[in-house]
Structure 1
Amino acid sequence: MWRVSSTLLAGLAALAVTAAQPAMAGKSDDTLNWATDREVAVVDPYYNNTRELVVMGHLGWDALLFRDLDSGEYKPLLATSWTWDGNKKIILELRKGVKFHDGSGFDADDVVYTINHVSNKNNGVLTYKNVKWMKNAEKLGPYKVAINLEKPFPAALAYLSNVVFIVPAGHYDNAPTKPDGKKDYGSVKAVGTGPYKFVEVKAGEYVLWKRNDSYFDGSPKGKPQIGNVKFRTIKEMNTQIAELLTGGLDWIWDVPKDQAERLKSKDSVTVENAKTMRVSYLAFDVDGSSGQDFFTKKKVRMAVAHAINRESITKNLVGPASVVIPSACHPDQFGCAQDVPKWDYDPAKAKKLLAEAGYPNGFEFDIYAYRQREYTEAVIGDLAKVGIKAKLTYLQYRALRDLVWKGKTPINHMTWGSNSIPDVSAITSNFFSGGRDDPAKDPEVIKAIEEGDTSTDPAARKAAYKRALTKISAELYWLPMFTYAKYYVYSKDLDFKTTPDEIPRFYTAKWK
């Protein structure tokens, strides 16, 4: 049986008494109001890698290519055509007549500037794996560029369509200097060519966007319909729901399953559960850098894996679109082998392994998390049943990310959405290539991933990734948990379509 927390009960009680008024506020002033519990201070997809900025990245900027979710095809966006010249160069013809939000014209100089800036490791792009495959860009004409690759990278088009957003030439040149002497590129005012223009941000409270009425004809994104889009930070889900039902918000997601199911009875909102490309995982401190060395022992990691009832968590908390995963990737991603060592739910085996590891009475440790507290609390409950007591430290993403990079977390329960890129290079390669996110730095895994990332033979890529994923699972550097399924709840006045990549495309939304 699952225990219902007092917070959840309070939320359900609040729903019972909240009047289900039509959510007219957004429609009446032509502003789509959406909220999450996460704070946004930096409005730049290169210098803020939260999901909120993934969403805003597609709202305020354009990439060179556009990936059609229905067909999987790549279509022209800022580039009108592209060809490979060998396996380490892409030639692109660029669209004419496009304007940035500051009124300046778009051309080859902007593409060259953007790529040369973000591909330079010294410039501090947060998810550097997204851009480090590019060596540089060169101008071949006013509307023609070449992108030179460091090595063959067969997933290049997926990245050019999803994470390489173009900024104006010179955009970061006047960035202020931080106390540590580094440039604060993330503080530069957002300027793109996208369907919405950045207006203002108040850190920790809101980000406001205004429709770009000059958005170019022929974009596969289409013309934006709603006048304004406002993101708000609202920490408590109960408050988000109350505002949605009384008209202060038009759209929320990550609604807990029980509350979402109850909201289906409200005539003023639509409730949907949709799959995503996000996965949940536990990452172990396998080298003892956190000061708690329990998880340097493989048998302890095995005990944790056998103690957690992942099937029950997906069924009771996450939603019907969620599935348990065996590999350190999403099943829909290219190269995500599923036939790897698996860890079934077996509390008796977990207790036996703990005794063999020298902990017959269990132990206490610190677990860190940043989203969906109830999922981590379920993990903590399962661990307690086998004698492992976990103390939860719950943080904002950026704070937890910094602790992970410093090796200070015995176990971190985190998620990764791969920037919605349907390729293993966007997740497994990010976490197991020897960088600061890699908990193991296993030479065998690093070598296999390098082969998978650079081979132009799809079969060879799959084989290499399978070797890496098999070793990761066998050694339990991670315990992959489940795919995320999100409950979306939004106003009946809003014409909105969910997508399987966890990028709500507000530029396609409209009022009914």
Structure 2
Amino acid sequence: MFKRKSKLLYLNVMIGLIIAVILSGCSGSKSTTSNSHASPQKQEDPGKPQYGGVLKISSPIEPANIGNPPEQVGSGFLHMMAPVLETLGKFNDKGEMQPLLAEKWETDPQAKTITYYLKKNIKFHDGTDFNAKAVKWNIELFQKAKRGEVDGIKSIDVVDDSTVRVNLTEWNSSLNNALCFWIQMISPTAYEKNGKDWAASHPVGTGAFTFVSWQRGVSIKYKKNENYWQKGLPYLDGVEYKIIPDAMTATAAFQKREVDASFYLPVDRVLELEKNDQYKVVTLTTGLGNRENGLIPNSGNPNSPWANPKVREALAYAIDAKTIVEKVLKGGYEVTDQWGPMTGTSYNKDVKKFEYNPEKAKKLLAEAGYPNGFKTKLMSWPGLEHESLPPVYQSYLKEVGIDAEVVNVDTARMYELIGTKWDGLMYFDVITSPDLPLYMERYLSKKAKLYVNIDHPEKVEALIKRGKAATDPETKQQANLELQKAVFEENHMFFPLAITTMPIVLYPNIQDSGFNETYGNVYSPEKTWLSK
């Protein structure tokens, strides 16, 4: 269970404990964090869905835009756009893509086509039709933004008003999931009439709620769509996101019932709140869309020490992930040393393990030409649970001779850096999935829009391409396993620390929300209701 009896130690105690462990020569004890986190079940039948009420959710961060999906490169904000913007499909709890705006689709690897048959009589919030032309326009908008998710599309045919065929240059087994998940449909008319900048802050979609207002740094408000295409839905009168960066303030707002649910609270806050029976904590158990964090070096800069593979390998030995997860993060995390959870279907058990070994790290640094270590920077993202980790990383690195200066940057600056260049080590925070070719291409390939300041080995590029071109599960799985080896054993492209179960704290009268039931950061605002 997510719950832990012991209290999370304050940061200064944590760091002292970590340093003590290092000096004692301990290799770190095994993590006791369970991988069987189960979302709490409803204690009693709430009865039939009830209409009314506004669902209020707090978040410490907010997106750069809410109405221009191609420019929204991070998936951590998708839930904040979900009330307004919908997609062709949606994942179920087995990781299978199911139709939403689409009625069905047909894939043909031999012909290299995907044909979508759309649901009829659906309108955008501005009264214009959702149809094949709109779908084509939205996909082409992603193409113009050079998004990797739509790479390899040769052309798009509007067969008729409710049928659109996507023609590929070569078969891509990941493309259907990419098109159905990432492309949130917006009104072409509203975008072209008002412009890109206007669209970024005025989402016009097909969703169960319509846009009301966005006061940056304060709130995003939506109201019920009285003409929603799913009859009888939504149940709520509105959805409101409150932006509360400070964890103590967010916790207090939740306890005072100023918000009904809180995203991204630090683990210590979650543990304390979970002790109260009037609150509920739901965690992600499907392995779909988990957040993974760690460190990624600027290996793409030839003048950086991190461009040397031996220095990156030293990083893998320098930090004791098991002890950090057990002693610092405590609940809600699982150690990982590859992409995704160690219990995942794409985990490669044959990849070499790099257990904590500071002496080995020092030896590798000496072999790389840094016997006395070197100075570097560690970019830190304040907020979430991130703020407790940089000082701990810093102490580990110092022990092997790497003097890391922690540099705090805000969310806007963070996204700017990971989309261009940074100096030294960057906090790595990504959404993972068993579909490695799709997700590694988003973060680790030459086509990536995030974490671009890294070396891109040709072998990794070739394996991503092979996995996407697979026409059977066996071939794709083999590419997955080889990718894990190439990324983490052969090239040390980044240092993975842990997978979070993404706990959300909420009041138990929130019903049928779908929070953490299928894919991380995805829920069903149209089906959510509040029991009285």
When normalised by structure 1's length, the TM-score is: 0.84
Return the offset for 1:319: 4.8
Taking the aligned partners of 2:343 and 2:83, their CA distance within structure 1 comes to 25
Indicate the residue corresponding to 1:458 in structure 2: 473
Tell me the secondary structure at the aligned position of residue 323 of structure 1.
strand
4+ residue stretches of structure 1 with deviation over 6 A?
A: none
The question of whether the paired residues in 2 share the 8 Å contact of 1:257 and 1:318 is answered with: yes
Return the offset for 1:129: 1.7
Indicate the residue corresponding to 2:516 in structure 1: 498
1:399-478 → structure 2 map (5 Å cutoff): 399-418=413-432, 422-435=434-447, 437-438=451-452, 439-473=454-488, 474-478=490-494
Taking the aligned partners of 2:210 and 2:124, their CA distance within structure 1 comes to 9
Indicate the residue corresponding to 2:165 in structure 1: 146
Alpha carbons of structure 1 residues 35 and 423: separation in structure 2 relative to 1, 3 Å: same
Taking the aligned partners of 1:99 and 1:130, their CA distance within structure 2 comes to 26
Among candidates 11, 17, 35, match of residue 58 of structure 2: 35
Taking the aligned partners of 1:389 and 1:329, their CA distance within structure 2 comes to 29
Tell me the secondary structure at the aligned position of residue 435 of structure 1.
coil
Alpha carbons of structure 1 residues 453 and 353: separation in structure 2 relative to 1, 3 Å: same
Indicate the residue corresponding to 2:311 in structure 1: 300
Alpha carbons of structure 1 residues 261 and 243: separation in structure 2 relative to 1, 3 Å: same
The question of whether the paired residues in 2 share the 8 Å contact of 1:113 and 1:170 is answered with: no
Taking the aligned partners of 2:410 and 2:349, their CA distance within structure 1 comes to 32
Indicate the residue corresponding to 1:107 in structure 2: 131
Taking the aligned partners of 2:344 and 2:158, their CA distance within structure 1 comes to 33
Taking the aligned partners of 1:266 and 1:84, their CA distance within structure 2 comes to 49
Taking the aligned partners of 1:378 and 1:161, their CA distance within structure 2 comes to 39
The question of whether the paired residues in 2 share the 8 Å contact of 1:59 and 1:194 is answered with: yes
Indicate the residue corresponding to 1:5 in structure 2: 11
Taking the aligned partners of 1:341 and 1:186, their CA distance within structure 2 comes to 48
The question of whether the paired residues in 1 share the 8 Å contact of 2:307 and 2:455 is answered with: no
Taking the aligned partners of 1:198 and 1:332, their CA distance within structure 2 comes to 40
Taking the aligned partners of 2:345 and 2:151, their CA distance within structure 1 comes to 20
Q: Which amino acid aligns with 2:139?
A: I
Taking the aligned partners of 1:2 and 1:357, their CA distance within structure 2 comes to 38
Q: Which amino acid aligns with 2:520?
A: E
Tell me the secondary structure at the aligned position of residue 102 of structure 1.
coil
Indicate the residue corresponding to 1:15 in structure 2: none
Alpha carbons of structure 1 residues 92 and 259: separation in structure 2 relative to 1, 3 Å: closer
Return the offset for 1:53: 2.9
1:364-415 superposed Cα distances (whole Å, 9 cap, x missing partner): 3111132521133332232233332322222234422322333323111121
1:78-227 → structure 2 map (5 Å cutoff): 78-85=101-108, 86-120=110-144, 124=145, 128-176=147-195, 184=197, 187=200, 189-217=202-230, 223-227=233-237
Taking the aligned partners of 1:334 and 1:134, their CA distance within structure 2 comes to 28
Indicate the residue corresponding to 1:14 in structure 2: none
| Larger RCO (CA under 8 A, 6+ residues apart) | 2
Taking the aligned partners of 1:51 and 1:347, their CA distance within structure 2 comes to 35
1:343-381 superposed Cα distances (whole Å, 9 cap, x missing partner): 111123223333444444433311113252113333223
Alpha carbons of structure 1 residues 133 and 54: separation in structure 2 relative to 1, 3 Å: farther
Return the offset for 1:504: 4.4
Count of residue correspondences: 475
Indicate the residue corresponding to 1:266 in structure 2: 276
Indicate the residue corresponding to 1:17 in structure 2: none
The question of whether the paired residues in 2 share the 8 Å contact of 1:325 and 1:481 is answered with: yes
Taking the aligned partners of 2:363 and 2:518, their CA distance within structure 1 comes to 40
Indicate the residue corresponding to 1:487 in structure 2: 503
Q: Which amino acid aligns with 2:158?
A: K
Return the offset for 1:237: 0.4
Alpha carbons of structure 1 residues 263 and 150: separation in structure 2 relative to 1, 3 Å: same
Q: Which runs of 5+ in 2 are unaligned?
A: 1-6, 15-49
Indicate the residue corresponding to 2:320 in structure 1: 309
The question of whether the paired residues in 2 share the 8 Å contact of 1:40 and 1:203 is answered with: no
The question of whether the paired residues in 1 share the 8 Å contact of 2:290 and 2:431 is answered with: yes
Taking the aligned partners of 2:518 and 2:12, their CA distance within structure 1 comes to 32
Taking the aligned partners of 1:98 and 1:494, their CA distance within structure 2 comes to 28
Taking the aligned partners of 1:66 and 1:39, their CA distance within structure 2 comes to 23
Return the offset for 1:427: 2.1
Identity %: 23
Indicate the residue corresponding to 1:288 in structure 2: 301
Q: Which amino acid aligns with 1:354?
A: L
Alpha carbons of structure 1 residues 425 and 477: separation in structure 2 relative to 1, 3 Å: same
Alpha carbons of structure 1 residues 115 and 264: separation in structure 2 relative to 1, 3 Å: closer
Indicate the residue corresponding to 1:75 in structure 2: 98
Q: Which runs of 5+ in 1 are unaligned?
A: 9-26, 177-182
